[in-house]
Amino acid sequence: MTDQRLEELRQRWEADPGSRVFLQLAEEYRRLGRKDEAIHVLEQGLERSPNHLSAKVALGRCRLEKQEYGSAAGIFEEVLERDPT
């Protein structure tokens, strides 16, 4: 992803914080190794969309990749409780 595209996603999210584009932005940050930024975006997005399970999984993945195992486990357990499939 180009810096320009990343900036476009960021601007779209900032213009409409309720938009679900936050997940795409966070995933791009994660792919670029910018996990702290990804976590920040995911946490902000989940404040507005707390039932967005894909975003919770992405947050758990970021925490896992940062070796924050307890936090990741808690997030994944919550996802499984909400949707055990």
**Closest Cα partner for 55 from 13, 26, 19?**
26
> Is the pTM above the cut of 0.85?
yes
**Closest Cα partner for 26 from 79, 52, 62?**
62
Contacts of 2 (CB under 8 A, 6+ apart): none
**pLDDT per position in the chain (85 positions), as tens?**
678 889 999 999 999 988 889 999 999 999 999 999 999 999 999 999 999 999 999 999 999 999 999 999 999 999 999 998 8
3-state secondary structure at position 34: coil
* The token pair that represents 68 in the structure block: 């924050």
CB atoms within 10 A of CB 7: 10
Domain 3-82 matching CATH 1.10.510.10: the answer reads no
